[in-house]
Structure 1
Amino acid sequence: MALFISWYLPAHHGFWFALDSRIYHAVNHQAVRHPLFADLLAITNHRVFDLCSLLAMGSLYLHYFLHADAAGRHRMLAIALAMIITALVLNQLGHLVPVSHVSPSRYFKATPGVVSIAELTRIPTKEFSSDSFPGDHGMLLMIFAAFMLHYFGRRGFLQAVLIVLFFSTPRILIGAHWFTDVAVGSLSIVLVGLGLWLPGGGCDALVSWLERHLPRATLFNRRHQPHG
């Protein structure tokens, strides 16, 4: 709450706006000077690249899944389903926050010296947003990291944090999101929502309920049965 208030209450968002502006202009200026950097920004913000973030999260989860026994795998299916439900609900609640603004790429579009990365590179990419707060992509990545911490410990959490940083940063660098859309918006919503949901036992209760009601996947513990 303190993080969100430090951004929400000051006029024009105080020092946060200055930080947001400096990040956007510095990166945009470098993209003009270095075409390969501009291409990298465009590629890492292409819609196809979003699939890479899903693959990264899925691969990490699969690593733990394959090292679990049959009972552990069944529980992990329940955890995954609970995580999806949590993400859907928290994402909807996040958009109830009374904040709406365009992305920096659209806000500064008419500013002299600012260029469109999509126009500069001729690569179709996600660059503009009519409402970029909070960062949906960053929020989903953070929810995944929080679940990894709660259910798989620090090692899984640190691995998930690397995924969060790697896949949320391109959105900020290209200007599809302000830095604070993720660092304040996404993070504060996740901290408040999951700070109550995970340690409070609500999610554990949901996982236990799902675990009891999900059909047992005998595929994970199938043994050879002799014929006859």
Structure 2
Amino acid sequence: MKKTNLFWIILCNILGALLLGSWFASSPAAGYHGPWLALDKGIFYFFNRLLVESQAFAVFVGIINLRVFDVIAFVAMLAIFYSYYRKSNVEGKRWLFCIGVAMLVSAVVIKQCDHFLSIDRVSASVYFDKLYHDVNWVSQLSGLPAKDRSASSFPGDHGMMLLIFAVYMWKYIGADAFVKALGVFVIFSLPRIMGGAHWFTDVYVGSVSFVLLVLSWILLTPLADMFISWLEPKVPLKFFVKKRG
């Protein structure tokens, strides 16, 4: 492993630890206090009040919080990935397929780290409803079966997967792919925050910190490259040859 990579791994881990540590200071055990809570509360109520001010906005937030919208996020990721896949030769397509598998394995590994910490945090909507009884529910206002609550919201799984995809695009395809994937991350992690099923910090502290702490050891060491190199010869090239006729 290069010395420069070790520097970036250490830096990512320091940033991830500081980010997560700062959130723990505002965690349920600490009574939900501090600047992170102030930011979370401000963002939650900004969107929550808009729900009763505009029926059109309530319906819009209801639509983007339907389960089917998660499929649209997946399609957006797939479209970015496929735009590079279709331009590749047979060997390149197999290589990209193996990168996709590595992404999924990384997501499972990071999720296991999440389970290890076993952080329990109800969604912003549930928390503020119990505290103030003044929450406007997207599902009720829109009349749609929208996801507007969660019994365990930290870290944001949806945002974490989108972020893992973005970082993999940066590592293996380049800055252009990263910018597109980062746009998908921002756009498709927003609906749950707008609907109250996630706190802002579930995504921008939880997801980001876990990716910094764990994914840095996967992508900035030879681990991911070794896995892809191991998998490539095991996947027959014939699967990626376009059939004629």
TM bucket (normalised to shorter chain) is: over 0.9
Query: How far is 1:97 from its partner?
Result: 2.0
In structure 1, distance between residues paired with 2:240 and 2:201: 45
State whether structure 2 residue 145 is matched by structure 1 residue 145. no
Pairwise CA RMSD:
1.5
Where do residues 63-82 of structure 1 align in structure 2 (5 Å cutoff)?
63-82=83-102
Equivalent of 2:203, from 179, 182, 200?
182
Equivalent AA in structure 2 for residue 33 of structure 1:
E
Residues 106 and 128, structure 1, Cα contact 8 Å, conserved in 2? yes
Q: Secondary structure at the match of 1:99?
A: coil
The TM-score normalised by the length of structure 1 is: 0.94
Partner residue of 1:173? 194
State whether structure 2 residue 140 is matched by structure 1 residue 119. yes
In structure 1, distance between residues paired with 2:20 and 2:233: 38
- The percentage of aligned residue pairs carrying the same residue is 39
Partner residue of 2:8? none
Any unmatched runs of 5+ in structure 2?
1-16
Q: How many residues align?
A: 224
Residues 41 and 173, structure 1, Cα contact 8 Å, conserved in 2? yes
Query: How far is 1:114 from its partner?
Result: 2.1
Equivalent AA in structure 1 for residue 222 of structure 2:
G
Equivalent AA in structure 2 for residue 130 of structure 1:
A
Residues 133 and 185, structure 1, Cα contact 8 Å, conserved in 2? yes
In structure 2, distance between residues paired with 1:223 and 1:176: 48
Change in CA separation of 1:100 and 1:218 when aligned onto 2, cut-off 3 Å: closer
In structure 1, distance between residues paired with 2:144 and 2:243: 48
CA deviation profile, 1:92-146 (whole Å, cap 9, x unmatched): 2223224211001111124244211101111111111000011000000000001
In structure 1, distance between residues paired with 2:243 and 2:53: 59
Any unmatched runs of 5+ in structure 1?
none
State whether structure 2 residue 150 is matched by structure 1 residue 129. yes
In structure 2, distance between residues paired with 1:219 and 1:15: 51
Query: How far is 1:7 from its partner?
Result: 1.2
The TM-score normalised by the length of structure 2 is: 0.87
Equivalent of 1:158, from 161, 179, 182?
179
Equivalent AA in structure 2 for residue 39 of structure 1:
V
Partner residue of 2:51? 31
In structure 2, distance between residues paired with 1:87 and 1:149: 16
Residues 83 and 147, structure 1, Cα contact 8 Å, conserved in 2? yes
In structure 1, distance between residues paired with 2:183 and 2:51: 24
Partner residue of 1:92? 112
In structure 2, distance between residues paired with 1:92 and 1:120: 36
Query: How far is 1:219 from its partner?
Result: 4.4
Partner residue of 1:205? 226
Residues 73 and 220, structure 1, Cα contact 8 Å, conserved in 2? no
Query: How far is 1:180 from its partner?
Result: 0.5
Q: Secondary structure at the match of 1:78?
A: helix
